[in-house]
Amino acid sequence: MKFSVRKWIPIVDWLLSYQPKQLRGDLTAGITTAVMLIPQAMAYAMLAGLPPVIGLYASILPLLVYALLGTSRQLAVGPVAMVALLVSSGIGAMVSPGDIGRYVTLTIFLTLLVGIIQFSMGLFRLGFLTNFLSHPVISGFTSAAALIIGFSQLKHIVGINLPRTENVLALIIESLRRSSEINLITLSLGIGCILFLLVLRRISPLIPGALIAVIISSLLVWGFKLNQLGVNIVADVPAGLPPFSMPVFDLHDIQGLLPIALTISFVGFIESIAIGKKIASEKGYEVDSNQELIALGAANIVGAFFRAMPVTGGFSRTAVNKDAGANTGLAGIITALVITIALLFLTPLLYFLPKAILGAVIMVAVFGLVDLKEVKHLWHIKKEDLALLSITFIATLTFGVKQGVFSGIALSMIWFVVKTTRPHYAVLGKLPGRDDYRNINSHQTEPTGSLLIIRFDAQFYYGNVSFLKETFKKAEITMQSPLKHIIIDASSINQLDSSADTALHEITREYGKRNIGLYFANLKGPVLDVMKRSGLYDMLGEDHFFMNVHEAATAVSNGLR
The Cα 143–Cα 133 span in angstroms is 15
Long-range CB pairs of 468-477 (<8 Å, 24+ gap) are 468/500, 468/503, 468/507, 469/503, 469/507, 471/425, 472/507, 475/427, 476/452
Q: In DSSP terms, which residues pair with 546 in a beta bridge?
A: 521
Backbone angles phi, psi at 233, to 5 degrees: -120, 165
Distances (CA, A) of 412 to 135, 136, 388, 405, 409: 9, 9, 8, 11, 5
Q: How many CB atoms lie within 10 A of CB 545?
A: 18
Query: Is the torsion defined by CA of 506, 511, 514, 519 positive or negative?
Result: negative
Which uninterrupted H or E stretch holds 483?
none
Structure confidence at residue 451 (pLDDT): 92
Per-residue pLDDT of the chain (561 residues; tens, 9 = 90+): 344 566 678 888 888 889 999 999 999 999 989 988 999 999 999 989 999 999 999 999 999 999 999 999 999 999 998 899 899 988 988 998 889 999 999 999 999 999 999 999 999 998 877 666 677 887 888 788 888 888 888 999 999 988 877 888 888 899 999 999 999 999 999 999 999 999 998 898 778 888 899 999 999 999 999 999 999 999 888 999 999 999 988 888 898 999 999 989 988 998 898 788 888 888 888 889 899 999 999 999 999 999 999 999 987 788 888 888 899 999 999 999 999 999 999 999 989 999 999 989 888 887 877 878 888 988 988 888 888 889 989 988 888 877 887 787 788 788 878 888 888 899 999 999 888 899 998 889 888 889 999 998 888 888 888 888 898 899 899 888 899 999 999 999 988 999 889 999 999 999 999 999 999 999 999 999 999 999 999 999 999 999 999 999 999 888 644
Q: Which domains does the chain have, with CATH numbers?
A: 2-415 (no CATH), 425-557 (3.30.750.24)
What residues contact residue 276 under an 8 Å CB cut-off, 6+ apart? 71, 72, 74, 75, 287, 292, 313, 318
The Cα 91–Cα 96 span in angstroms is 10
The Cα 79–Cα 43 span in angstroms is 9
pTM summary value:
0.78
The separation between CA 362 and the C-alpha centre of its own chain, rounded to angstroms, equals: 20
The Cα 524–Cα 378 span in angstroms is 34
> For the segment 90-113, what is each residue's pLDDT rounded down to a tens digit?
898 899 888 999 999 999 999 999
What residues contact residue 257 under an 8 Å CB cut-off, 6+ apart? 90, 91, 94, 106, 109, 110, 113
The Cα 338–Cα 556 span in angstroms is 76
Query: Is the torsion defined by CA of 158, 82, 107, 215 positive or negative?
Result: negative
CB neighbour burial string for 472-508, b if at least 16 within 10 angstroms, e if fewer: beebeeeeeeebbbbbbbbebbeebeeebbebbbebb
DSSP structure class, residue 179: G
Closest by alpha carbon to 295, among 63, 541, 561, 481?
63
> For the segment 111-145, what is each residue's pLDDT rounded down to a tens digit?
999 999 999 999 999 887 766 667 788 788 878 88
The Cα 184–Cα 335 span in angstroms is 36
* Identity at 390, one-letter amino acid code: S
Q: In DSSP terms, which residues pair with 312 in a beta bridge?
A: 78
DSSP structure class, residue 241: P
Structure confidence at residue 303 (pLDDT): 97
Query: Is the torsion defined by CA of 481, 482, 487, 488 positive or negative?
Result: positive
The Cα 150–Cα 44 span in angstroms is 11
Structure confidence at residue 561 (pLDDT): 43
